Amino acid sequence: MAKAKNTYQPDYAVPPGWILEERLESHGISHAAFARRCGRSPKLISEIIAGKAPVEPETALQFEKVLGMDASIWLGIETDYRLHKAREAEAREAAAAVAWYKRFPVKELVKRGCIEKSANDVDGVNKVLAFFGVASVSAWQGQFGVANVAYRHSPSFESSEEALATWLRLGEIAAERQDCAAYSETRFRSALTEIRGLTREPVEVFIPVMLRLCNRAGVTLVVIKSLPGTALSGAARWLSPRKALIQLSLRHMSDDHLWFSFFHEAAHLLLHSKKNIFVEGNGVDASDLEDEANAWASNFLVPRARWESFKATTPRSKAEVLAIAQEQSIAPGIVVGMLQHDGVVPGTHLNGLKRRFQWIED
C-alpha cells in the first residue's frame, strides 16, 4: 500500500472573496459596478465575496481583465480554500468517528503487524479505514456492516460486529495472496475426498496439501487466529462467482473442531447461495441451512447409516473409538467430537484421543 508523502498543510486558508473585497476597496469600485464591468450579475459577485459561490475559470479571466490580477492566482486561491474546507470537513468526520474506531481490536491488529500504531485517535480512524480499504465510516457501514451483510449465526452468537468484520477482512486479505483456479464443483468435491484422507496426518503435512487441493478447485483456505471480542469457528463465502473462501479460526485448538468446521464450511459452498456469508460460532446455529451443513459434514466424515449403527452400541471405550476411526480412515478425535456432540459421551470423556494444536507466535 502506497504511503502518502509528508507535505505542509497550513491550518488556515483565505477565501477568494476576501481578496476580492480588498481589491475592490483599494480600487474604489462598488460591488454593482464591478459586476457590470465583468458582465456578471451582482448576485454572483456577492456570493463569491461571501464564499457561497466558487471562482470558476471564466470568472477568473474576467477578474484578471478588470483588476489586473492573473487568473491563475484567483484559481489557486479558490483551490486552496476549497481543499482546506474539505480537509476541515474530513477532520470533523474523523473526530466524530473516534468512538467507532475504538470498538475495533486495534491493539491486536498492531500486534499482528496489520496496521501501524497510531499517533492519535484521528490517525487511528484513518488507519482502520485504510485497513478495510474504504474512505469513510459510512462507506465501511455499506461494505462491511453486519446490517448490510447476510450471514448466518446462532441467536447466542457472541462476536461483536467490529471484531467479526475485522476477522473476516483478515481472511479476505490473506485469500487475495492465494493463486486460485476458477471454481469447479467437480474438482472441489474430489478435493474434499482427498482431504478427508488427511485427517490422520500431522498438521505440517495436511495444511499445505489442503491448501493446494482447494486452490486447484477455486477455493481459498485461510486459518486466522481469533480476535478479542470474537467467538467463532469458521466462515464460508464467495469472493467472486469464480472464487470461494473457507476461513477457520482454530478457536478450540483441537482436530475434531478443525475438521468438522472445515467440512461444515465446505457444505455451505456446495449447498447454499453464493450471496450469503456464513459465520459459525458456538456450534448451536439455529437455521435450516446450518442443520443442512452439519448433516452434510457428519455424513461425509462417517456415513449416516454406519454412524447410527455405531452409536447404537453405546460406545464409551478408547478401543471402540480407535476401531471405527481405523475402519473409516479418519482421525480418532473426530469420532470423539461427534460422540460428544450427539450426547453419547460427556464432553470430558475420551479427550485424550483428540489432537491438540498450538499457535506459533512470530
Instruction: Provide DSSP, 221-269.
Output: EEE-PPPTT----EEEEEEETTEEEEEE--TT-BHHHHHHHHHHHHHHH
If pLDDT is split at 50, 70 and 90, which confidence band does 359 have?
Answer: confident
**Residue 220: which H helix or E strand, with range?**
strand 219-223
> What are the distances in angstroms from CA 89 to CA 123, 238, 248?
15, 36, 40
Residue-wise pLDDT for 203-239, tens only, equals 999 999 999 999 999 999 999 998 887 888 899 999 9
| Cβ-contact 139, 145 below 8 angstroms | no
- CA–CA dist 87, 190 (Å, integer): 54
Question: What per-residue confidence (pLDDT) applies to 5?
Answer: 46
Question: What per-residue confidence (pLDDT) applies to 145?
Answer: 75
Strand partners, 220: 245
> What are the distances in angstroms from CA 212 to CA 80, 180, 193, 194, 250?
53, 9, 14, 11, 19
User: Which sequence spans correspond to the domains of the chain?
Assistant: 16-96, 100-144, 148-301, 302-357
Q: What is the pTM of this model?
A: 0.74
With a pLDDT cut of 70, the percent of the chain lying above it is 90
pLDDT at 197 over 60: yes
- CA–CA dist 350, 348 (Å, integer): 7
240 or 361, greater pLDDT: 240
pLDDT at 2 over 60: no
- CA–CA dist 176, 188 (Å, integer): 19
* Burial (Cβ within 10 Å: 0-12, 13-18, ≥19) of residue 177: exposed
Cell numbers of 159, please? 462476536
Question: What per-residue confidence (pLDDT) applies to 87?
Answer: 86
Residue-wise pLDDT for 45-91, tens only, equals 999 999 899 999 999 999 999 999 999 999 999 999 999 988 888 77
pLDDT at 362 over 90: no
Strand partners, 236: 246, 278
Question: What per-residue confidence (pLDDT) applies to 358?
Answer: 83
3-state secondary structure of 280: strand
Average pLDDT, the chain: 89
Question: What per-residue confidence (pLDDT) applies to 155?
Answer: 45
Question: How many CA atoms lie within 13 Å of 307's alpha carbon, on the beta-carbon side?
Answer: 19
Mean pLDDT of 31-51: 93
Contacts of 34 (CB under 8 A, 6+ apart): 24, 45, 66
Residue-wise pLDDT for 148-160, tens only, equals 444 444 444 567 8
φ/ψ of 146, rounded to 5, equals -60, -35
* Amino acid letter, residue 89: A
106 or 4, greater pLDDT: 106
| Cβ-contact 149, 231 below 8 angstroms | no
pLDDT at 26 over 60: yes
Question: What per-residue confidence (pLDDT) applies to 1?
Answer: 39
**Residue 164: which H helix or E strand, with range?**
helix 161-176
End-to-end C-alpha distance for the chain, whole angstroms:
22
3-state secondary structure of 279: strand
Mean pLDDT of 186-194: 98
Q: Which CATH superfamily is domain 16-96 in?
A: lambda repressor-like DNA-binding domains (1.10.260.40)
